[in-house]
Structure 1
Amino acid sequence: MKGVKFVVDDSGKKKAVLIDLEQWGALWEDFYDILVSESRKNEPTVPWSELKAEMEKGVRRGG
């Protein structure tokens, strides 16, 4: 795949990947967003109305 290179160890096993972000940056952002979303799926949620009210008051949430 053009713009993608694999880093391999001495035995030829793939260990890492180098991605040309000029070429694949938008796709990488989408992939990263999915990973972040998946990692947070079991976190507690806040109703939109509550968050909106806090934002209008200038309340900042930790995190």
Structure 2
Amino acid sequence: MIDRAEIEAKAKELEMAIGETKEAAKNKALLTAVGVGIIIVAAFWLGRRRGRKGSAVVEIYKV
């Protein structure tokens, strides 16, 4: 026969497992977001630098 204590113990065990999984997923999502942010900033910075390097400076004087 199944006791109330056994059901409560199993419920607490499942609750702990869900909590651990939730924390792991949250940490992974945060790391992924930070990584994507770094890649976007680096691509922007490198593209901007390359654009400045390759562009010609044209000066027009009105006489």
TM-score normalized with structure 1 length: 0.32
Greater share of residues in helix: 2
Greater share of residues in strand: 1
Looking at CA atoms only, which structure, 1 or 2, has the larger radius of gyration?
2
Higher RCO (C-alpha 8 Å, min separation 6): 1
TM-score normalized with structure 2 length: 0.32
